[in-house]
Amino acid sequence: MCDVAALGELEPTRSFEILLGSVDKVKAFVNDMSRIEGDAFLCVGKYVIDAKSIMGIFSLELSKPLRLEIENWKEEYMATLEKYLNHE
């Protein structure tokens, strides 16, 4: 699990397992994350990447599921995230 507490975690924070398997999906994801207020992070092992950074995301292994952490969670964000959730 990702530990964003050191980054100044705000409540409430929600976590999701997502899959970004293609360049087009990453581009759409970054565009969608830019509409989310507050911070969003992708966590892989000990690495924490800004989920709004396309360059940061491309430094990750995209064929495997990623942990998404969104601070200041609002239920309205769920509609945006649904297409990225890993349903395996």
Residue 4 has pLDDT above 80, yes or no: no
Q: Quick count: other Cβ atoms within 10 Å of Cβ 84? A: 19
Three-state SS letters, 4-41: CHHHCCCCCEEEEEECCCCHHHHHHHHHHHCCCCCCEE
Taking only the tens place, the pLDDT of each residue in 16-56 is 999 999 999 999 999 999 999 989 999 998 899 999 999 99
Domain ranges within the chain, ordered by starting residue = 5-84
Taking only the tens place, the pLDDT of each residue in 53-72 is 999 999 999 999 999 999 99
Q: Tell which CATH architecture fits domain 5-84.
A: 2-Layer Sandwich (3.30)
Model pTM? Answer: 0.84
